Amino acid sequence: MNPYRALTAEETITHDFEQLSNTRPVRVLTHLFDQLDGTPAKVSADDECICGRCYRISDRHEVVAHDHDHYEISLIIGGTARHYTAMYESVLKRGDVIVVAPGKVHAFSDMDGLAVVNCIYLTEWLLHDVRDIWTLEGLIPLFLAAGMLAHPENPWIPQYQLIEEEFHACLREMRDMGREWEREEPSRIYMKCSIEKMMLTLGRAFARSGLGETRLAAQAEVQQALERIEDHVANCQVFRVAELAGHIGMSPDYLSRVFKEVTGWSPMDYFQRRRIQHASWLLLNANRSVTEVAHTLGFFDSAHFSRLFKRHQGLSPRAYRKRYRSGKK
């Protein structure tokens, strides 16, 4: 019987705790837990599996039910543990990977020398321009859906096994990201290349597992709509659902219905969400005032922009910039 069947998070791990910011939007950490007999995990400090900063944890063999306000990719590099979610209980071992979306709750027990590398990242950093990744295997369903789609909460947390080649390929990218994070002025381009390569490897492994859908299930007309919305956002163009529907040969009502079936949003709501995600990127990466960002994206005034921004991000534009633009280690 799964004692965590009705999981409730006892704590939430936040972006701030993990020290994520616009200059360091991805972080890699290694956690090594003692074996049940009290001896250290069988992963040495100079092992090739150690990525990013390494933390050794003594006398702890469980992790209480918790969630995150960000995505976390966990790669098991040694030891074992029991993993609990709202939908399943499983044994973790070397080569297993877990992908935990924001708000999903899980827990661990019976950790016997568990060694895990965690990769955490700011979703919006990867969502500035998604036109090239809609059709890539696994990227949006596994690693970005929480930032783009509005379907009802799915408690499922993907867990699957990598083959050795995939395992070492992911470790190489994690080591590179961990080293780059420690630089005085890390390159976001370098880290973005590394995390996207790792995500592609993980997406292909997930596809091989047969555990779930690896591509956004969208018919051609919806795919066209998504791509044209990206063009409208990127070029700061006025967006009208009727014009979009006419361009792709559908009625506005039918387009709205099938579009919502795929994304969980109406076309207009999705357009507004993508505008706010672009605004988030500008607030962190461009030296423009809130008013200038609002005008750049076609808002009539900064007050309207600020209200919509807070509705989607939970913070005002100024508070969002202050929180994530520090870049401190």
CATH number (domain holding residue 242): 1.10.10.60
Query: Which distant-in-sequence residues (6+ apart) come within 8 Å of 75 by Cβ?
Result: 96, 97, 116, 117, 118, 119, 162, 167, 170, 171, 174
Tell me: pLDDT of 111 over 90.
yes
Residue 329 pLDDT more than 70? no
Last residue of a domain, one of 209, 238, 273: 209
CATH number at residue 118: 2.60.120.10
- Residue pLDDT, tens place only, 226-277: 889 989 988 888 899 999 999 999 999 999 999 998 888 999 999 999 999 9
Strand 159-161 and strand 96-100: pairing?
A: antiparallel
Q: Do 146 and 24 belong together in one domain?
A: yes
| Whether residue 77 is found in the same domain as residue 189 | yes
Same domain, 178 and 230: no
90 in the same domain as 41: yes
Size of the chain in residues? 329
Rounded mean pLDDT, 151-175: 88
Residue 2 has pLDDT above 70, yes or no: no
Same domain, 29 and 128: yes
Assess if residue 102 is contained within a domain: yes
- What is the C-alpha separation between 278 and 296, in angstroms, rounded? 10
Q: Quick one: pLDDT band at residue 327, thresholds 50, 70, 90?
A: very low
Measured CA to CA, the distance from residue 239 to residue 242 in angstroms comes to 9
Considering the domain boundaries, does residue 6 fall inside one? Answer: no
pLDDT digits (tens, 9 = 90+) for 234-248: 888 889 999 999 999
Tell me if 75 sits within 8 A of 171, measured CB to CB.
yes
pLDDT at 322 exceeding the cut of 90: no
Whether 169 maps to a domain, the answer reads yes
- How many independent structural domains does the chain possess? 2
Stretch among 125-134, 172-181, 209-218, 290-299 having the lowest mean pLDDT: 209-218
By three-state DSSP, how is residue 328 classified? coil
Closest residue by Cα to residue 328 from 18, 119, 4: 18
Q: Which domain holds residue 297?
A: 220-324
Same domain as 170, residue 114: yes
Beta strands 53-57; 26-33: pairing state: parallel
Q: What are the CB-based long-range contacts (under 8 Å, 24+) for 300-306?
A: 305/279
- Please check the confidence at residue 328 and state whether its pLDDT lies above 50: no
Kindly state whether residues 37 and 186 are assigned to the same domain: yes
**Pick from 209, 241, 268: which residue ends a domain?**
209
The answer on 232 and 205 residing in a single domain is no
Q: Structure pTM?
A: 0.87
